[in-house]
Structure 1
Amino acid sequence: MGSVVKSTNKEVNGSVAVKNPTVVFVLGGPGSGKGTQCANIVEHFGYTHLSAGDLLRAEIKSGSENGTMIQNMIKEGKIVPSEVTIKLLQRAMQENGNDKFLIDGFPRNEENRAAFEEVTKIEPAFVLFFDCPEEEMERRLLSRNQGREDDNIETIRKRFKVFLESSLPVIEHYTAREKVRKIDAGRPVEEVFESVKALFTPKDEKAD
């Protein structure tokens, strides 16, 4: 049933097989440009991009027992238990073999965060928070997804509200630990990436 881990990476007590992986949580509202910036980080800094949503969708598509359970929960409007999402993230990390991961769109709430640290024994190196004005995210989503039913103005605003209510406690938790790196994501893509690059470039490589 469990994932097969290569013998070189022994699994210990269900924790991630890669020794001390570097994990960066990536948070931001819908339309904040997270996906674009994650692709840039992968290309420039060799991270592996893991999206909690993509992993859940792939599991559903696989037709596994777990996938059917996830699909039924989503259909009923229930939130998929943290442990389910965390197991998928762990498996993806183990199978990938890289030691640097961007985890996108997770933790969605404080319960996710606590469970992730409890299960994996990993604390993120930092949290990359794309802070974008609501009007700008709205404008981007409406222009990007013309004709998509789920992107009408009411739905978009609902998604913003859910993001703020559930994710702000996570951001506050890590702010208290001085782990949040807030990026002004309302600017053009290239400018945003310049700010992102500064966070990922090792200090000794930065020009004085």
Structure 2
Amino acid sequence: MNIAVLGPPGCGKGTQAKLLAAHFGLKHFSLGETLRMEVGKGTELGKKTAAYLKEGKLVPEPIVLDLFRAYVSRNGDQGHILDGYPRTLVQAEALDTILSLSAVVLFEITEEGVQSRVVGRVVDAQGRSYNLDSNRPPAGVETKRRDDDRPQVVQERFRGYLAEVEPILSHYRRRGILLRVNAAGTIGSVLDQLLVGLGRAG
């Protein structure tokens, strides 16, 4: 089973992707977390991508495609949850030649809903996300705010996402594997929607 989870920044797809990975026993791939990890380590890839992430811009396709191919070559025999990937039609078309997707989940939420969530979002040293209002970090865990969680950056990322996502949705709609989910609810209610929808898709 291979599932792609798509949605705007701050919609909760990362949290749900990890829950789905645990539920179905799948490998979790997050392009955003992988890129931020490279930045944190100061690798050559991290240096190339740091400026793009700080400004909320998409990382160039060649870097993204090379990173994803390397991930699949290391983990190709397992099922996968692709968290926020593919982000462009070019990536979606390349993905078709690498993995066969069982379903593509679209998290739907307004820009206002995203902004209200991002206000309380923090991450720990491993990149795990928490929300100071709805999903607080465990006691003793040190957290910080991400550079790309500033309101103006979130706005730019949200609008950039809308411009990029429609061709991707059309691509998967034609294949009949697109599942829409209302992402505005609680973590539990969104997960319930996912499990019901994916059960039907399967």
Q: TM-score scaled by structure 1?
A: 0.72
Counterpart in the other structure of 1:168? 166
Counterpart in the other structure of 2:5? 26
- CA spacing shift, 1:48–1:154, aligned 2, 3 Å: same
- How many residues end up aligned between the 2 structures? 181
Given the alignment, which residue of 156, 171, 177 partners 1:179? 177
Distance (Å, rounded) in 1 between the aligned partners of 2:199 and 2:77? 18
Counterpart in the other structure of 1:109? 88
1:131 aligns with 2:108: yes
Superposition pairs for residues 1-208 of structure 1, below 5 Å?
22-61=1-40, 65-71=44-50, 79-96=58-75, 98-118=77-97, 120=98, 122-144=99-121, 148=145, 150-201=148-199
- CA spacing shift, 1:182–1:69, aligned 2, 3 Å: same
Displacement of 1:137 in angstroms is 1.5
- CA spacing shift, 1:159–1:80, aligned 2, 3 Å: closer
Distance (Å, rounded) in 2 between the aligned partners of 1:139 and 1:171? 25
Distance (Å, rounded) in 2 between the aligned partners of 1:112 and 1:106? 8
Displacement of 1:152 in angstroms is 3.7
- CA spacing shift, 1:194–1:73, aligned 2, 3 Å: closer
Structure 1 stretches lacking a partner, 5+ long: 1-21
- CA spacing shift, 1:83–1:115, aligned 2, 3 Å: farther
Displacement of 1:59 in angstroms is 3.9
- CA spacing shift, 1:135–1:101, aligned 2, 3 Å: same
Which secondary structure does the structure 2 equivalent of 1:175 belong to? helix
Displacement of 1:106 in angstroms is 1.5
Q: How high is the sequence identity, in percent, across the aligned residues?
A: 30
Superposed CA deviations along residues 116-150 of structure 1, whole A, max 9, x for unmatched, are 334x2x34222111111222211111133589464
Q: Which amino acid in 2 is paired with 1:30?
A: P
Structure 2 stretches lacking a partner, 5+ long: 123-131, 133-143
Q: State which structure, 1 or 2, has the greater radius of gyration over its C-alpha atoms.
A: 1
Displacement of 1:42 in angstroms is 1.6
Q: Which amino acid in 2 is paired with 1:55?
A: T
Displacement of 1:61 in angstroms is 4.9
Q: Which amino acid in 1 is paired with 2:15?
A: T
Displacement of 1:85 in angstroms is 2.1
Displacement of 1:102 in angstroms is 0.8
Distance (Å, rounded) in 2 between the aligned partners of 1:34 and 1:160? 14
Q: TM-score scaled by structure 2?
A: 0.73
Counterpart in the other structure of 2:127? none
Displacement of 1:50 in angstroms is 0.3
CA root-mean-square deviation: 3.0
